[in-house]
Amino acid sequence: MEAFYIRKYGGPEVLERGRLPTPVLGLQDVRIRVHAASVNPLDWRIREGQLKVLLPYRFPLVLGNDCSGVAIEVGREVSRFRAGDAVYTRAEKDRIGTFATEIVADEVVVARKPVALSRVEAASLLLVLLTAAQFLAEAAALKRGQSVLIHAGAGAVGSVTIQLAKHLGLRVISTASGGNITFVKGLGADRVIDRQTQRFEHDVRDIDAVLDSVGMSNLLRSFQCVKPGGNVVSIADDPDVSLASALGVNRLLRPVFWARGARPHAAARRVGAKYRYWFMRADGPQLESLNPLLESGTIRPYVGSIFPFDQAPHAIAKGEEGKARGKVAIQMLDD
């Protein structure tokens, strides 16, 4: 198969293109011919080795975490899919590799692609949609009528989380740069704060939950906005010790993760709030449960840029700039 992969950790220069053996198909696996994939911050964080203690990959490592395509072969114990099905998947964290012409995934992380979406649109949603759903229902455990501050509302995660939050009956406040304010209001946000001219922590109080996808400085300021007992969740900075423990990191290394999470945990204690770092999990049935919202247009994907497969390095660079509205996608095959 053709793939973009790395043989060592590093910057953009370590990314290679070439032919690699196709992955072995297990009894419960689905082999997918990839039609489209999307770019996520996780891709360059993995490339740079930022997560190598949490996720000890072997080389050569094909990058890419989500895709859509067609099932071309299924394992003997697969019951939910058959060859020819249009599918999409957020690959398991230890079996990534969607920047390739084929990928193999356990059927538990595969879902049927919504008919109403193109394959590029479907590929753009997986990681961000699961992140949004798990943040709202699990990490923050929000209920109808409560409030949420969603940072970077024009970004890939923010734009989807706003739409899902409004569907669930939440009051949504978001931050965005000046040129994106109208776009974010169009997603359904009740209020949008221009992060270039306003300090959101001066204007927002008593929020039930915050989702930060920006970084540590933004995260720490967010604790000024949340009410006692509220939840502040990060998906942007270094994982903390609770995630390291959940992923089975060596006990000798856990003090490192404790130190990384010390500042936000201390900020949470000062205001009587709760803090956690959220690393979403791949979940095919959860994706399928959200398909009706995609079919009806309740949640709409926003693809800002589409690159052909041979320009995957440019797609990653575009995402890494941090200025894209919506998702950056890579298209291998036409619909």
CATH, domain 2-124+301-331, list 3.40.50.1000, 3.40.605.10, 3.90.180.10, 3.50.50.60: 3.90.180.10
Predicted pLDDT of residue 261: 79
Position 137, amino acid? A
pLDDT the model gives residue 21: 96
Per-residue pLDDT, 240: 66
The per-residue pLDDT for 325 is 78
Q: Return the closest-CA partner of residue 121 out of 299, 310, 323, 317.
A: 299
Taking alpha carbons only, the member of 117, 158, 164 closest to residue 136 is 164
Q: Using an 8 Å Cβ cutoff, are 305 and 315 in contact?
A: yes
277 sits in which H/E element: strand 274-277
Indicate where the chain has its CATH 3.90.180.10 domain(s).
2-124+301-331
CA dist., res. 31 & res. 305, Å (int)? 27
DSSP string, 7-62: SS--SGGGEEEEE-PPPPPPTTEEEEEEEEEEE-HHHHHHHHTTTTTTS---SSEE
Q: Within the chain, which residue ranges are assigned CATH 3.40.50.720? A: 127-277
Cα distance between residue 93 and residue 110, in whole Å:
13
pLDDT digits (tens, 9 = 90+) for 14-41: 999 999 999 999 999 999 999 999 999 9
Give pLDDT, residue 333: 85
- Total-model pTM: 0.93
Predicted pLDDT at 241 = 67
Termini Cα distance of the chain: 20
AA identity, residue 294: L
For residue 323, what pLDDT is reported? 73
Q: How many CA atoms lie within 13 A of 80 on its CB side?
A: 16
CA angle 180, 98, 95 (to 5 degrees): 120
| pLDDT reported for residue 35 | 98
Neighbours of 115 (CB within 10 A): 10
Q: Give the residue ranges of the chain where pLDDT is below 70.
A: 240-241, 243-244, 247-248, 250, 252-253, 335
Dist CA 111 CA 81 (whole Å): 9
The fold of the 127-277 domain, in CATH, is Rossmann fold (3.40.50)
